Structure 1
Amino acid sequence: MDSPINSQKTVSDDDEIDYSVKPEFYDSDLDDKDELWMISKRDGRPSDAVLSCPACFTTVCLECQRHEQYVTQYRAVFVVNCRVDKDTVLQEKGMPSKIGKRRRDSEMQETDSAESEKVNRVFCSACSTEIGVVDGEEIYHFFNVIPSEP
């Protein structure tokens, strides 16, 4: 069996780092700066979560409210990185009581009926994953997103 050449002389990368020099890409105040940026974007208003696309992790909402009954659903007025499909109008009876895959498939349908609320599908603008719907009052209802602490 052959043994690795100079296996006794292998040096860790850690041994080659000069800790007396401040790292070029390190900013000890970055978390504080990020928090101030987020507060300025929300004008000081609280948010239940920051929402991201489940496929590509692109941020789609900085300020939202969690649904009272369905904790994996959120609603928002201000969104980013979202594309609305205005060509396809869906209808939902009793919107937004529950928007989930089963209900979306069985009760949401293309229609022009005036008795139900009309909604349009919302997609991530980066990867085109469907992440929710927007209603006629321009309130976004997210049901396919990843929440993180604000």
Structure 2
Amino acid sequence: MASSPTVSEKTISDDDEIDYSVKPEFYDSELDAKDELWVHKKRNGVVSDAVLSCPACFTTLCLESQRHEKIVTQYRAVFVENCEIKNEEVVQVQSDKKLPKRKRGKNGFEAVEIGKVKPVCCSVCSTRVGVIDEDEVYHFFEVIPSEV
């Protein structure tokens, strides 16, 4: 008596079902050029040191940033996206002139030359990525930079 085929034996390869004579519906060979044009329009010709992304979910946080002069893993920015300010928390950060090299401030952030700050998180996954100071300048410490 012949046994019935197993699930894996019933499965047909996707390659057998694809008609390669028809252009794929979701393929766009010009997509990279369109994305680059979109970013240039968003920046209005402003040069950026890096595009910053969340280290947990890779969501874009900032298209225009400036790298810290001495601490190359820190960035600052004025215009951001997908960022949430935690207004209920205020953190006091000491000046880095008083701290030994590479000493971390409160909440694990690198110390910067700012006073009272509020934590900033990714609005998609809530990962803490930096702080915002009293002058509304964002200071990013925990981000992934993409060189532009």
| TM-score in same-fold range (> 0.5) | yes
Report the CA distance between 1:85 and its aligned residue: 1.4
Structure-1 residue corresponding to 2:66: 65
Q: CA RMSD in A?
A: 3.3
Scaled by the length of structure 2, the TM-score of the pair is 0.77
Structure 2: stretches of 5+ with no match in the other structure:
6-10
Structure 1: stretches of 5+ with no match in the other structure:
109-115
Report the CA distance between 1:104 and its aligned residue: 2.6
Are 1:95 and 1:117, in contact at CA under 8 Å, matched by a contact in 2?
A: no
Structure-2 residue corresponding to 1:103: 105
Report the CA distance between 1:93 and its aligned residue: 2.5
Structure-2 residue corresponding to 1:146: 144
Scaled by the length of structure 1, the TM-score of the pair is 0.76
Give the whole-Å Cα distance in 2 for the aligned partners of 1:107 and 1:20.
55
Structure-2 residue corresponding to 1:37: 38
What amino acid maps onto 1:102 in structure 2? Answer: R
Give the whole-Å Cα distance in 1 for the aligned partners of 2:45 and 2:16.
46
Are 2:94 and 2:105, in contact at CA under 8 Å, matched by a contact in 1?
A: no
Report the CA distance between 1:136 and its aligned residue: 0.9
Give the whole-Å Cα distance in 2 for the aligned partners of 1:103 and 1:52.
22
Report the CA distance between 1:13 and its aligned residue: 4.2
Report the secondary structure of 1:102's partner residue. Answer: coil
Report the CA distance between 1:97 and its aligned residue: 9.4
Structure-2 residue corresponding to 1:128: 126
Runs of 4+ in 1 over 6 A off after TM superposition: 95-98
Deviation string, structure 1 residues 62-82 (Cα, Å, up to 9, x no partner): 110111211111110000011
Give the whole-Å Cα distance in 2 for the aligned partners of 1:63 and 1:95.
24
Larger strand fraction of residues: 1
Give the length in aligned residue pairs.
140
